[in-house]
Chains A and B, each alone.
Chain A
Amino acid sequence: MTSHFLLLVFFASCVATVMAVLQKDDRAGQIRLALYIAGGFVGAALLLGWVMFPLPL
């Protein structure tokens, strides 16, 4: 697998799942928090990617 985006989504999903299950005891709360964390990971990565796009690296 060479898609950086899919690698990112897989990583975000795994970390978000573990963190949400650690933090919350009810199923609905776990799902909400997992989506929030995973969305934060992916959203932040996309935002930073676009911010860094014009930089000559």
Chain B
Amino acid sequence: MPARPDPVPLPPVPPLALCAIGWLVPGAAHLWLGRREKGLIFLVVLVALFAAGLWLDGRIFPIEPREPLVALAALANIGMGVPYFVAWALGLGAGNVVAVSYEYANTYLIVAGLLNALVVLDAYDIAVGRKP
């Protein structure tokens, strides 16, 4: 039985451009680096966590400089990249403060963005050779 061919390598990009790719689409930086399994896991899990946050009546926080905690939550939300902008464009994430799951959902949305930031940093470390 012939061995499966290696995936076609993608052209190298500067590490910061790779970070931008990874921020926009969760897991895309790992996919670009040829870490197909890790990239797919990040893509599925982070998008599922973010989508669950929206489904459970979570709120996508506005950037509100006068309220630092809200602004920080907004920054964490933006960490999801394209899914965040799609949700914002579709008017999702209005939040229902009386829903039982409201606080959980907010946590899902915030943590999804923060985990994506960790994933991007991991891809950066791989790209610059700090991590095998």
Contacts and interface: CB of A to CB of B under 8 A. Distances in A.
A43 to B, nearest CB: 18
Nearest to B115: A18
A10 B55 CA distance: 14
B108 interface: yes
A1 interface: yes
Interface in A12-57: 14-15, 17-18, 21-22, 25
Given A1-B56, A11-B107, A11-B111, A18 B42 contact: yes
A17 B107 CA distance: 17
Classify the interface of chain B: helix, strand, loop or mixed: helix
Interface size class of B (residues with CB under 8 A): 20 to 34
A2 B42 contact: no
Nearest to A25: B132
Interface of B: 38, 41-42, 45-46, 48-49, 52, 56, 100-101, 104, 107-108, 111, 115, 118-119, 122, 132
Contacts of B122: 22
A22 B118 contact: yes
23 contacts: A1-B56, A1-B101, A2-B100, A7-B56, A10-B52, A11-B49, A11-B104, A11-B107, A11-B111, A14-B46, A14-B48, A14-B49, A15-B115, A18-B41, A18-B42, A18-B45, A18-B46, A18-B118, A18-B119, A21-B38, A21-B41, A22-B118, A22-B122
B115 to A, nearest CB: 5
